[in-house]
Chain A
Amino acid sequence: MIKGVDFMIMEEFLAEEEKIIRDTTRKFVEKEVLPIIGDHYDKGTFPTELIPKIAQLGLLGITTPPEYGGAGASYFSYGLACQELEWCDSGLRSLVSVQNSLCMYPIYTYGSEEQKEKYLPKMCTGETIGCFGLTEPDAGSDPASMRTTAKKVDGGWVLNGNKIWITNAPIAQIAVVWAKTEEGVRGFIVERDTPGFETPEIKKKMSLRFSPTGEIVLEDCFVPDENLLPGSTVGMKAPFSCLNRARYGIAWGAVGAAAFCFEKALNYTKDRVQFGKPLASFQLVQRDLADMFTEVTKCQLLVYRLGRLFDEGRASHVMVSMAKKTCTMTAAQVARKARELLGGNGVSLEYHVIRHLCNMETTTTYEGTDKIHSLIIGRYLTGINAFR
Chain B
Amino acid sequence: MKVVVFCKSVPDTETRVKLKDNRLDKSEIKYILNPYDEFAVEEAVRMKEAGKVDEVVAISMGPERAREALRSALAIGADRGILIKDDVLDGSDTYVTAKVLVKALEKDGAEYGMLLFGQQAIDGDTWHVPGQVAEMLGLPQAGSIIKLEVDPDAGKAVANRLVEGGEEVHEMSLPCVVTCRKGLNEPRYPSLPNIMKAKRKPIQDYSIADLDLSPEEVGKAGSFTEVLSYSLPPKKEAGRKVEGEPEEVVQALVKFLKEEIKVI
Q: Which residues of A contact B198 (CB under 8 A)?
A: 17, 20
Contact size range, A: 20 to 34
Contact size range, B: 10 to 19
| In the complex, A58 has a CB within 8 A of chain B | yes
The reply to whether B189 and A20 contact each other, CB–CB distance below 8 Å, is: no
| In the complex, B68 has a CB within 8 A of chain A | yes
| In the complex, A71 has a CB within 8 A of chain B | yes
The reply to whether A21 and B195 contact each other, CB–CB distance below 8 Å, is: yes
The reply to whether A20 and B191 contact each other, CB–CB distance below 8 Å, is: no
A5 to B38, CA, bound (A): 25
A66 to B71, CA, bound (A): 20
Task: Give the interface SS of chain B, mostly helix, strand, loop or mixed.
Answer: helix
Task: Pick the residue among B32, B191, B196 that contacts A57 (CB under 8 A).
Answer: B191
Task: Pick the residue among B30, B67, B75 that contacts A11 (CB under 8 A).
Answer: B30
| In the complex, A155 has a CB within 8 A of chain B | no
The reply to whether B191 and A58 contact each other, CB–CB distance below 8 Å, is: yes
Q: Which residues of A contact B12 (CB under 8 A)?
A: 3
The reply to whether A17 and B199 contact each other, CB–CB distance below 8 Å, is: yes
The reply to whether A20 and B30 contact each other, CB–CB distance below 8 Å, is: no
| In the complex, A256 has a CB within 8 A of chain B | no
The reply to whether B14 and A20 contact each other, CB–CB distance below 8 Å, is: no
The reply to whether B193 and A71 contact each other, CB–CB distance below 8 Å, is: yes
The reply to whether B189 and A71 contact each other, CB–CB distance below 8 Å, is: no
Q: Which residues of B contact A11 (CB under 8 A)?
A: 30
The reply to whether B68 and A57 contact each other, CB–CB distance below 8 Å, is: no
The reply to whether B71 and A71 contact each other, CB–CB distance below 8 Å, is: no
| In the complex, A212 has a CB within 8 A of chain B | no
The reply to whether B195 and A24 contact each other, CB–CB distance below 8 Å, is: yes
The reply to whether A71 and B195 contact each other, CB–CB distance below 8 Å, is: yes
| In the complex, B192 has a CB within 8 A of chain A | yes
Q: How many Å from the CB of B240 to the closest CB on chain A?
A: 13
A347 to B60, CA, bound (A): 47
The reply to whether B191 and A19 contact each other, CB–CB distance below 8 Å, is: no
The reply to whether B196 and A3 contact each other, CB–CB distance below 8 Å, is: no
User: What would be 13 A-B contacts, judged by CB atoms less than 8 Å apart?
Assistant: A3-B12, A3-B14, A6-B30, A20-B68, A20-B195, A24-B75, A24-B190, A58-B194, A58-B195, A59-B192, A62-B192, A73-B195, A73-B196
The reply to whether A73 and B189 contact each other, CB–CB distance below 8 Å, is: no
Task: Pick the residue among A16, A19, A23, A73 that contacts B192 (CB under 8 A).
Answer: A73
A3 to B12, CA, bound (A): 10
The residues of A with any CB-CB pair to B shorter than 8 Å are 3-4, 6, 11, 16-17, 19-21, 23-24, 27-28, 56-59, 62, 66, 70-73, 77, 81
The reply to whether B191 and A4 contact each other, CB–CB distance below 8 Å, is: no
Task: Pick the residue among B32, B67, B191, B193 that contacts A16 (CB under 8 A).
Answer: B67
Q: How many Å from the CB of B66 to the closest CB on chain A?
A: 11
Interface members, chain B 10-33 (any A CB < 8 Å): 12, 14, 30, 32
Known contacts A17-B199, A23-B32; is-contact A66 B75 (Cβ 8 Å): no
The reply to whether A20 and B193 contact each other, CB–CB distance below 8 Å, is: no
Q: A24-B189, A73-B196 are in contact. List 12 more A-B contacts (CB 8 A).
A: A16-B71, A17-B71, A17-B196, A17-B199, A19-B68, A20-B71, A20-B75, A21-B192, A24-B190, A56-B189, A59-B192, A62-B192
Q: How many Å from the CB of A111 to the closest CB on chain B?
A: 21
A71 to B75, CA, bound (A): 12
Q: How many Å from the CB of B37 to the closest CB on chain A?
A: 14
Instruction: List the B residue with the shortest CB-CB distance to A15.
Output: B199
A66 to B75, CA, bound (A): 16
Task: Kindly supply a per-residue 1/0 record for chain B positions 179-221, scoring 1 wherever the CB is within 8 Å of any chain A CB and 0 otherwise.
Answer: 0000000000111111110110000000000000000000000
Task: Pick the residue among B30, B68, B190, B193 that contacts A70 (CB under 8 A).
Answer: B193
A298 to B188, CA, bound (A): 34
Interface centre among A20, A27, A56, A70, by most chain B C-beta atoms within 10 angstroms, is A20
The reply to whether A77 and B192 contact each other, CB–CB distance below 8 Å, is: yes
Q: Which residues of B contact A20 (CB under 8 A)?
A: 68, 71-72, 75, 190, 195, 198
The reply to whether A27 and B71 contact each other, CB–CB distance below 8 Å, is: no
A379 to B71, CA, bound (A): 45
Q: Which residues of A contact B199 (CB under 8 A)?
A: 16-17
A183 to B195, CA, bound (A): 44
The reply to whether B14 and A58 contact each other, CB–CB distance below 8 Å, is: no
Q: Which residues of A contact B190 (CB under 8 A)?
A: 20, 24
Q: Which residues of B contact A77 (CB under 8 A)?
A: 192
Instruction: List the A residue with the shortest CB-CB distance to B188.
Output: A56
Q: Which residues of A contact B75 (CB under 8 A)?
A: 17, 20, 24
Instruction: List the A residue with the shortest CB-CB distance to B187.
Output: A27
Task: Pick the residue among A4, A17, A28, A66 that contacts B189 (CB under 8 A).
Answer: A28
A81 to B30, CA, bound (A): 18
The reply to whether B192 and A66 contact each other, CB–CB distance below 8 Å, is: no
A352 to B261, CA, bound (A): 39
Interface centre among B75, B191, B192, by most chain A C-beta atoms within 10 angstroms, is B192
